[in-house]
Amino acid sequence: MRRVLTALAALGAMMVMAVPAQAGGPPFQAGPKHGDEFTSTSADPNTGEVSIFSLNARQPSAVHCAGDGPFATLQSTQPADGVHSVAVAYKDGSWIDTVVLNIDIFGSQSGALGHGAVTGGHMGSSGTVNMTLFSPPQPGETLTTRFGLQAHAGCVPGAQPVGLNGSRPVDAGRVTFVSVTTG
């Protein structure tokens, strides 16, 4: 129990770390975010900071865990003409191994054009996710790149006769997105 409380305290501290806003912040827009009464989500288009937190106190059902896991996203839109690849840069990323940094790229007429993800636990990491589009966008359409964090709908931790065994007591993550560039 002491280890669980220590882990919860560390994750709580990670979630409240402040990152000062940069002058003329990133050119992002708010994207979709979602969760349930056991979650908290935040996505600030002015600073590029995205965070999610989920207390896995849900009771498992016979088929799957009840409830919705959290996700929070930002997005960037630009003309799609001549775009063949997209790169999303991030910094100060900290999340546990049940959280995914997820990126989806779609055209206003073409639909899904690309996907990227960073999985596994991270602490203070920075990087760039480079994605080549699945197919060229149609002339004149708009390209939307949506990026953020997501977690599954967790159940009560520990071995359960039904539901997902071994869920974490908490799913948490925080990251600051720096830029979206096209090539």
- Residue spans of the domains in the chain: they are 2-182
pLDDT of residue 7: 43
CB atoms near residue 99 (< 10 Å):
30
pLDDT of residue 136: 93
Specify the residue for token string 């992002």. 28
pLDDT of residue 32: 95
Fold that domain 2-182 belongs to in CATH? Jelly Rolls (2.60.120)
- Whether residue 26 contacts residue 178, with contact meaning beta carbons closer than 8 Å, is answered with yes
b/e map 9-41, b = 16+ CB within 10 Å: eebeebbeeeeeeeeeebebeebebebeebbeb
pTM over 0.85: no
pLDDT digits (tens), the chain, 183 positions:
444 434 444 444 444 333 333 334 468 999 999 888 888 999 999 999 999 998 876 665 555 565 567 899 999 999 999 999 999 999 999 998 888 899 999 999 999 999 999 998 899 999 999 999 999 999 999 999 999 999 876 665 554 444 444 466 788 999 999 999 999
pLDDT of residue 22: 36
